[in-house]
Structure 1
Amino acid sequence: MSATASSEDSRVSGVSGVSGVSGVPGAEELAAYASRELGVTLDPASARADDSGWDFRVTHIRAADGTPWILRQPRRPEAADRLAVEGAVLAAVRDRVPVPVPDWRLHTPGLVAYPRLPGEAAGSEDPDTLVYGWSMDPLAHPDRYLEPLARSLVAVHSTPPDRTRELPGGPPAAPEDVRARIADKLARARTELGLPAARTRRWREWLDDDRLWPDRLVLVHGDVHPGHTLVERPPSGPPVLSGLLDWANADIGDPAADFVDMLYAGGTAVLDGLLDAYRAAGGEVRAGLRDHILARGSFLWVHVALRGLDTGRPAWVETAMSRIAS
């Protein structure tokens, strides 16, 4: 599940001739603008919109030579602001991550364009029920999916500090700041949503347990779920991880954040397989990390409920509250 949600009634400007969200341009306008900026002829007749993302509207389009391209437009100003961070993170990890990442050829506040990476999403999230459907079995061949994904996470989490020092947004937060932000969300949810007392008590115990929290923060992708992992299907053999997409939520943070969405999408079997592969690849699996991820996974629904309130999506609030109550 994506870590952030988007407001579809906001408006993003900042690209001459291309507006966002409520003023989504037609294919002709978008293709013409991107073609001029890229120096590549894009065919508007080939454009196909993908509105499944919470933060960005994606257009799949082909160039005259047949090369597929991705055009990403932020749905709201906050998402546009994150593009500067995302671009800096991609530059920091491009030669470290063992699978391809997007190679931005155009980057403005309102539009990013890059050649589409090969493969298809390993799964997708229903925008209403927030349930994932997999396009492949993530457990069938760990060496083809979970293990390269784990190696990618180890590479991201071990990125040297000198590569992240210049990320936009100022100095990284301290570990205690992560807990403080979650505690603030819990306090707000108790007031505005009326959380069950037993759940609230368990989350408070989790927040107060020093053993479960990291003593240092690292670079994190921040939104690792099946929809952001690409797999290629060779003529013979099982699908293989072929790319890691959408680094819009990358930040200096708690490494456990990069396991939460995979837990949600695939359950504890996928989480355990990913943790085993992460450990084997040299990642630090400290005592209590699994319990910490499980707690973060349950708290994810508080975040979804609050985002539902903030973006006027009562269905998200209802879904989240039913999960919290279960």
Structure 2
Amino acid sequence: MGETARERALRALAAHAPDLAGTGLRELGHGLDNAAFHAGDLVVRVAERGDGHGVRAEARLLALVAAHVDLPVPVVRFSDEEAGVLAYPMLPGRPLLGRPAPPGLGRTIGRFLRRLHAIDPAAAGGIVPVEDAEPAEWLEDLDGPAHLLRVVRGSVPAPGRGRVLAHADLGAEHLLERDGAVTGVIDWSDAAVTDPALDFARLYRDFGPDVLAEALDAYGGLPGGTGRIVFYARCAALEDLAYGGAHGEAAARSLSWLFP
């Protein structure tokens, strides 16, 4: 049997930060793609599949993004490709998952995305994949209540034409907040050159239409309107319903505006 995520985290700490190897390892969270631990002042994130290439690419991506955006992103202390581990000093604040949007969240994220999406996609060549973001492909293996699936299947939009460097998983769990201010944007492991609508979809799923409208206004508007955003948000909510836990609970609360 292969090493557990905890064992790989401990091995990477022993190799790259031996002063923290004996401080204890506290689990912060466990998702579909990563497990995260806390050791000393570091977040130690372990890719589920030991993805060394992904770890190396994310470290390069974070350096690129940090030079252009106006919100903090992780600053990598070390990466271990063989163990699939990325470590960075913990940013202040708590994830917004399951919590209401602080005042001005939409404006803050809209400005952030305007800067992120202005990065020349060529600068991310070889760092992140280029994804077609074909809406119909989101229906593959999508599950959920039959009446909601009928709505999604009956509202598949045309693909968007624009391609930008996107976070592509910008949900509440990846937005940190303290004292009403956004203090960081974390977990860039799904970043891609893709449809900009993806970066608004989970914002809409998690915080509703008012925050989305505020974000789009600060962003300067999205060509093609909100149809793709709504579609991707609905698909993401159904995925989280199937996943369960805190993500499923948050998705269940969003159904009132996603499927009015």
User: Does the pair score TM above 0.5?
Assistant: yes
What corresponds to 1:232 in structure 2? 178
Question: Is 1:296 matched up with 2:246?
Answer: no
Shift of 1:277: 2.1
Q: For residues 98 and 198 of structure 1, do their structure 2 counterparts lie closer, same or farther at Cα, with a shift above 3 Å needed?
A: closer
What is the Cα-based RMSD across aligned positions, in Å? 3.6
Structure 2 letter corresponding to 1:95: A
Does 1:42 pair with 2:17? no
2:109 paired residue among 117, 125, 149: 149
CA distance in 2, matches of 1:198, 1:264: 14
C-alpha change, 1:41 and 1:260, in structure 2 (3 Å) is same
Q: How does 1:98-109 map to 2 (within 5 A)?
A: 98-109=70-81
TM-superposed CA distance for 1:291, in Å, is 2.9
Inter-partner Cα distance in structure 2 for 1:60 and 1:300: 28
Rg larger in structure: 1
Distance (whole Å) between structure 1 residues aligned to residue 12 and residue 149 of structure 2: 50
Flag the 1:156–1:20 CA change in 2: closer, same or farther, 3 A. Answer: farther
Distance 1:286 1:116 in 2: 36
Cα distance, 1:260–1:107 mapped onto 2, change above 3 Å: same
In structure 2, relative to structure 1, the CA distance for the partners of 1:195 and 1:73 (3 Å cut) is same
Long gaps (5+) in structure 2: none
CA distance in 2 between partners of 1:270 and 1:325 (Å)? 17
Whole-angstrom CA distance in 2 between matches of 1:102 and 1:270: 25
Answer whether contact 2:201 2:230 (CA < 8 A) is retained. Answer: yes
| Cα offset, 1:188, TM superposition | 4.5
Q: Which amino acid aligns with 1:285?
A: L
> TM-score scaled by structure 2?
0.80
Partner of 1:274: 215
Residue identity matched to 1:20: T
CA distance in 1, matches of 2:109, 2:144: 38
**Bigger Cα displacement from structure 2, 257-266 vs 292-301:** 292-301
Mapped contact 1:229–1:241 kept (Cα < 8 A):
yes
User: Is 2:188 the counterpart of 1:247?
Assistant: yes
Pick the aligned partner of 1:61 from 39, 57, 67: 39
Task: Output the CA distance in 2 between the equivalents of 1:101 and 1:194.
Answer: 34
Check 1:220–1:168 CA distance in 2 against 1; reply closer, same or farther (3 A cut).
Answer: closer
Q: Distance in 1 between matches of 2:155 and 2:259?
A: 18
Q: State the percentage of identical aligned residues.
A: 23
User: Is 1:20 aligned to 2:4, yes or no?
Assistant: yes
Alignment of 1:161-310 (within 5 A): 161-167=121-127, 169=129, 172-173=130-131, 177-179=132-134, 182-186=135-139, 188-189=141-142, 196=146, 199-200=149-150, 202-204=151-153, 206-207=155-156, 209-210=157-158, 213-233=159-179, 239-279=180-220, 284-288=221-225, 290-304=226-240
Residue 236 of structure 1 is matched in structure 2 by: none
Structure 1 residue 87: deviation in Å?
Answer: 2.3
Deviations 1:75-131 (A, max 9, x none): 235x555323322321321200112211112112321111122x212423xxxxxxx
- When residues 219 and 45 of structure 1 are mapped into structure 2, their CA distance, relative to the original with a 3 A threshold, is same
Report how far residue 250 of structure 1 moved: 0.3
